[in-house]
Structure 1
Amino acid sequence: MAEEVLSGGNMEVVVRVGDTVRRVAGEWTPSVQAWLTAIRGSGVEQVPEPRGSDIEGREVLSYLPGSTLDRAEPAVLWSSAVLEQAGRLLRRIHDAEVPPALASGVWRTQRHDPVEVICHNDFAPYNLLVDGERLVGVIDFDMASPGPRIWDLAYLAYRLAPFAEDADGFDEVQAKGSESRMTRLHRVIDAYGVPYEASAVLATAVERLEELAAFTDARAMETERTDLVAHAAMYRRDAQRLRHRLQRPAR
């Protein structure tokens, strides 16, 4: 069957073949597939179904319909409904009952202590699928690893509250009456359902961005991609802005 190269795939090429997605496999793939099986077994159908490997040794997953949230109109991308759905879906994925051995399994990225769950590590608009204003799926689990719940929640908040510099269209939507970033931060924390302090989520986001900047710089050197250098610089600017926000008196 014909192969269609899908957008994204920042690490390697990802292709669609019929109702499946094929991507480069690695030593981490058995852990990812076992986790996806556990998530679906817990009743969460918004994640891909693992289907083993093909004759080329690539990982095979079911294709999930929908369009990525980052390509949606700003009114959808920055809607409170989508924000809350994302928080709830992340909680359901984290709450899936997984085999205890997965916590010590082989993963593509480093673990972070304290280990509470398996983290997606990139739960963001470009990996979230929507149909209208309905969140219908999440993709790209290859960078997963064990870690604390707040590690994933902090990155989601960074991307959807949003505190990211490249949050295109948010200022225009906010000018028309959308909630403030801090109000949206509290909204996604409430949707996730664990009473974290907003300051703890922001502090974790700073740590996450510093690590992501270092990873992206290394990836830029490996691939000679100048766009990744720019991404790393943005993560560091965003981390600095969040530090300043944390230093402001509480209101």
Structure 2
Amino acid sequence: MDEVILTGGNMMPVVRIGDTVRRETGPWTPAVHALLDRCEAAGVEGVPRARGVDERGREVLSFVPGDVLADAAAEILWSRDVLVEAARLMRRIHDAGAGLVGAPLSWRAPAHAPAEVICHNDFAPYNLLMSGGTLAGAIDFDFASPGPRLWDVAYLAYRIAPLAEDAPGFDPERFGSPVARVGELVTAYGADWSATEVRAAAAARLDELAAFTEDRAADTGRADLAVHAVMYRRDAGLLRD
């Protein structure tokens, strides 16, 4: 069957063949597949299913249909319903994979203490899918690793509350203030962290992301990554202020 290159990935080529997605494997692949298997066993919808490795050594995942949330109109991207759905999907994924904490698995991203669940580590609009006006799923689990629930929730808040300066089309008059939206997100997830705790965790997450992005910029020579790293450090400082 024909291979169709899927756009949007920053790390490695991703192709679609029929109703499957293929990408390069790494030492982390068995851990990611174990997480996806846990999600499948728990009945978590909208998450890729691990289907082994193909004849070229690429992992095989089920294709999750939908349109990328980051590309949606502002009315959808900043919808409070979508915010709530995203928080609830994250909670289902966390609960499904929590039993893997402490398992002898190799993860691509570093673990963070206290390790409560397996964090997605990039749960954001560019990895969330929409279909028929509702959240359809989440993709790209390659950087999952053990960590605290708040670590993942704080990054989602950074992207969707939003706490980021890069928030095209966001209007607090129409969609609610970021502080109020953080509260809605935390409540939908089923926790009781304060906005201050979320901001502090998001700032720490951005420090790590900035360092990672600076290294990627140096390795690839991509100027856009260097610009993103500067923004992450600036946003981290603003969150601490």
CA distance in 2, matches of 1:104, 1:195: 31
Cα deviation digits, residues 11-68 of structure 1 (max 9, x gap): 1111111100011100100010011000111110210010111111111100001001
Equivalent in the alignment of 1:186: 183
User: Which of 195, 200, 204 is equivalent to 1:198?
Assistant: 195
Equivalent in the alignment of 1:215: 212
Cα deviation digits, residues 129-185 of structure 1 (max 9, x gap): 0114311110000000000000000000000000111110003xx34x321110001
Residue 126 (str. 1) matches residue 123 (str. 2): no
Tell me the TM-score normalised to structure 2 length. 0.97
Q: Is the 8 A contact 1:31 1:102 kept in 2?
A: no
Alpha-carbon RMSD across the aligned residues, in angstroms, is: 1.2
Specify every segment of 5 or more residues in structure 1 that has no aligned partner in the other structure, as ranges: 245-251
Equivalent in the alignment of 1:226: 223
Equivalent in the alignment of 1:163: 163
Equivalent in the alignment of 2:26: 26
Q: 1:67 to 1:212 in 2, by over 3 A?
A: same
Number of equivalent positions: 241
CA distance in 1, matches of 2:87, 2:72: 18
CA distance in 2, matches of 1:120, 1:47: 11
CA distance in 2, matches of 1:64, 1:161: 25
Cα deviation digits, residues 73-131 of structure 1 (max 9, x gap): 10000000000000111011111155447644100010001000000000000000011
Moved segments of 4+, more than 6 Å: none
Cα deviation digits, residues 198-222 of structure 1 (max 9, x gap): 1111100000000000000001111
Equivalent in the alignment of 2:37: 37
CA distance in 2, matches of 1:100, 1:66: 28
Equivalences for residues 141-180 of structure 1 within 5 A: 141-171=141-171, 174-175=172-173, 177-180=174-177
Identity, in percent, stands at 57
Equivalent in the alignment of 1:248: none
Tell me the TM-score normalised to structure 1 length. 0.93
Equivalent in the alignment of 1:106: 106
Q: Which moved more, 1:72-81 or 1:124-133?
A: 124-133
CA distance in 2, matches of 1:3, 1:166: 33
Q: What amino acid sits opposite 2:52 in the alignment?
A: G
Q: Is the 8 A contact 2:100 2:118 kept in 1?
A: no
